[in-house]
Every structure is written in C-alpha cells, then in structure tokens.
Amino acid sequence: MDENEDVLVSVGGPVDRGVGLLTLNRPKAINSLTHPMVGAISAALKAWENDDAVRAVVISGAGDRGLCAGGDVVAIYHDAKVGGAATRQFWWDEYVLDAYIGRYPKPYVALMNGITMGGGVGISAHGSVRVVTETTKMAMPEVGIGFIPDVGGTFILSRAPGLLGLHAAMTGAPFTGADAIAMGFADHFVPHDRLDAFTATILAEDIDAAVAAHAEEPPPSPLLAQREWIDHCYAGETVSDIVAALRGPAGNPGGTAAVDAADLIASRSPVAVSVALEAVRRAASLSTLEDVLRQEFRTSCGALRSHDLVEGIRALLIDKDRNPQWSPTSLAGVTKEDIDGYFVSADPDLSFE
C-alpha cells in the first residue's frame, strides 16, 4: 500500500478469504474525487472481482469529515473554460464505475460517514451494503452550481417515497443518515464510534456478523415525517408551480420548512432546477441504473455547454462571492426548448461496453 496515493488499496483479513479495502485519501479536500482516483478504484475492483482470495470490498474515507464531498469541481471549472474534453472523459469513466459498482458480483460495503455528496454518493449508494451514521450528511447539491444531479443519483431520487426525491434534487439541501435509509440511499445505521469495530468484524468474520453486532435501529427520518406537505407541494407541473405551492397560503402545512425550501430553490440556477425536475421524472420511467446514467451523461454534457455551470462554480469556489449571475436569470425565462436541449444525445452517448 502506497501511503502517497489518493486511493489506498489493500487486502485485510485471512489470506484465503480477505477483504479488499479502498480508502479515499484526500482528507483535506474531504476526499473529493479526481479522474485518477476513479481509475484506481476501477482497477482495484476489477482485480478483486476475479480473485478468489477476496470475498468482499469495503470503501471508506480518510479523516473524520466525510467519505467524499463529490467531484473536483474546481478542475471542472478550469477545463470547461477550454472546451471541457477532460471533464467529459472524467464523467464517462466515473459513471461507468458507478454502474459497475451497482452490478458488482461481490459484497460491496460503503461506509457513508460524514459528508457524502455528489460523486461520493455515486461510489457508495449503488453498493450492496450501505452504512450511515449519526454524522452522515448526504446531499445531491448540484443545482447550487448550475449542474444537474448525476452519478446515478436520479435513479434513487426518482424511486424515493412520494416526492421526497424531488425535494432533495431541487433544493440540493443535505439530509441525514436516517433520511438516506428512508429514501433508499442506504441500508444500515451504525454509530460513528463503532465503525472501526464494524470493519474489524467484517475482516474477522463476515458482513452479516458485523451488521448483527453493530447496526442499530436508525433515528426517525425528519424528511419522512414531512412527506405530507412535500408530496402536496412538489406535485406541481413546473418549478414555478412548486415554488408557489411551497410559499403557499397562510397556514401552509409545510410552514417555515416549506418556505425555506422555496427560498433555496429560488437561489439555485433556474435552468438547472428545471432540468433536475424533468430528469428525476424521466428517470422514474427508466428501468436500469445504466439507462439513468446514460441520461445523466446527457444532462451533464448539457450543463458543460451552459453558462451556469462555470458561473456557479466561480461564485461558490473561485471568487467565493456567493452571488452567481444565472442565465436565464429567472424561472420565467427558462423555456421548454432550454430544458429539452439537456436531453439530446451526448454524441456519443455513454456506453457500458
């Protein structure tokens, strides 16, 4: 194991029935994914797939802040300004990896501790054993930078109970580990201070023993408790309809939480929020993760062609003025043609051959 690598790759446990260990190792950047990291994860998984001495895989993040905060969007900013070819290839390889994780033939255990957002969701939420803690802070926050939820996120969002997935996609707001379980992003709740013991039990015994010894009933899901007003407000046909419902009449059942959601949506890229709404709706009718990732590759490439992705990253992470100048500037300025343009062929479309 090379301690200088951004992904630490090793095998632990008994020699004849080991466990592949992947540790994202950029703690200062909350383990944000780079293109070489995607390649390293893919290579390790492929090697272990056909290694009879490896019975399972566990992926985690170095440091205490989180599994992975997402992709390296500052790199995307600079590349987009010169055409975006490297970013397009990064997404291609990342989404192919996400699909591979989704069909990986061996148990794939993801420790979704702390911040797990964007690309971090892609390398964890499609695994077969997904673990959250009381520190988990999950989100698909893409609309805040003029981007669209990706990495297979819309596959899960579109299948969440009621319209909780639309709420998460259109606000970009973080949600808890308990919410993640309720929405279909995770399976088990393990207290943060028992994660090391959880992994040790997998190494010494097996995954079932680890779950039995360390998993607990998750706390109540705050989002699930708000489903009534979320289902009501997000049933509108357009983003404007949804925002109007969230602001609602006096006595709106969502109260201040609904108004806060409306304010969040209003601060996001108008075109990105509009495309996110359409993307989640379309994902609901696509039958496989691969089909959804292919659609997401189209919307991602659409964002790469847009004004708002570069502007959103600039405002949040480059100049840090938090004052993006979106184009169009309002929801009223977003046309059906604008939205449909994000769903045209990426030419070539994503392939899993």
Bridge-based pairing state of the strands 18-24 and 7-12: antiparallel
Q: Is 150 a catalytic residue?
A: yes
CA 154 – CA 200 distance, rounded (Å) = 33
Q: Is 142 a catalytic residue?
A: yes
CA 313 – CA 194 distance, rounded (Å) = 36
Going by C-alpha positions, the residue among 300, 293, 278, 289 that lies closest to residue 346 is 300
CA 11 – CA 30 distance, rounded (Å) = 23
Set 142, 187, 290, 296: catalytic member = 142
Set 13, 18, 66, 71: catalytic member = 71
Going by C-alpha positions, the residue among 145, 169, 142, 143 that lies closest to residue 155 is 169
Q: Strand (E) positions, 235-308?
A: none
Give Cα separations from 142 to 124, 167, 252, 291 (angstroms).
17, 13, 28, 20
Give Cα separations from 287 to 96, 158, 186, 304, 342 (angstroms).
17, 11, 20, 26, 20
CA 194 – CA 146 distance, rounded (Å) = 38
Set 20, 70, 118, 119: catalytic member = 119
Set 72, 150, 308, 311: catalytic member = 150
Q: Is 290 a catalytic residue?
A: no
Fill in the amino acid letter for 258: A
Q: Is 102 a catalytic residue?
A: no
Burial 112-148, CB ≥16 within 10 A → b, else e:
bbbbbbbbbbbbbbbbbbbbbbbbbbbbbbbbbbbbb
Catalytic positions, written as ranges: 71, 119, 142, 150
